[in-house]
Amino acid sequence: MSSSTEHEVAKPVSAKGALPEGAQNEAEAAEKVRDMFDSIAPSYDMLNHLLSGSMDRVWWWRAAKTFDYVLKQPDVRVLDLCCGTGDMTLALLKYRPKGGEKVIALDFSQQMLSRGVEKFRAAGYADAVEPIEADAMQIPLPDRSLDLIVSAFGFRNLANYDAALRELHRVLKPGGMLGILECNKPGGMLGKMYLQYFEHVLPWIGRRVSGDGSAYSYLPASVARFPQPPDMLNRMEHAHFYSVQWTPYTFGVAGLYQGIKA
């Protein structure tokens, strides 16, 4: 898609944000998502690798490599938004020079973030990360304070996608970069097979391993609800990001959205 300065940007038309079963408003949606991730935190990593065939590792490293030229600059400020247990943070740290600014790892699930902190320590990165327990809709950082924000498989769980994009725009410096790695619904026969797996096989495995059936029923519902790439790119332009683009990963099962703060 082209820059928002070149044409009138239409208002987004799809879902406003994540809406777990039983949630009546954005506050309830956020609370239910946080409780759900706190609940599944002990089995989260193992199930991620199992359910994706370990492709999640490939996607994290590929997304991080996209921004290697930014990450290699020691003075840049980087945020891993909705960091979960820290796998995207570790991928970003691979390209950070020793002694550079810390990568900020932010998540509102205390259980997920605490497991991430354990990972950072075990990998020798305890001094290279600044963990923050906070809501991605209200980032406790000043305006224009970040050079790069990356989010991996967490953005779709936010209660208001457009408000979240505006918040990310607020904390980015002019010219700052945004990367959102997310699941996607591919088309064609692959899409039909993927849908069958996502709606039937994945919840069954998740329920058997984690003991939480609702969490792994929510997952396919959240992907189905998330905007398709053209709409998501339009939302980014509407939030005043330019040079927006989407790069599909693994036949479009996932993909990386990119934009620059205007």
Which tens digit of pLDDT belongs to each residue from 142-189?
999 999 999 999 999 999 999 999 999 999 999 999 999 999 988 777
- pLDDT of 44: 80
| pTM higher than the cut 0.85 | yes
Kindly report the length of the chain: 262
Give the C-alpha distances (Å, rounded to integers) separating 132 from 56, 64, 202: 23, 20, 31
Query: What confidence tens digit (pLDDT) does each residue in 69-117 have?
Result: 999 999 999 999 999 999 999 999 999 999 999 999 999 999 999 999 9
Q: Please give the structure tokens belonging to residue 16.
A: 């406003």
| Dihedral (CA of 133, 182, 152, 45) sign | positive
Round the CA-based radius of gyration of the chain to a whole number and report it.
17
The Cα diameter of the chain in Å comes to 51
CB 150 within 8 A of CB 63: yes
Query: What confidence tens digit (pLDDT) does each residue in 8-28 have?
Result: 445 555 679 988 888 889 999
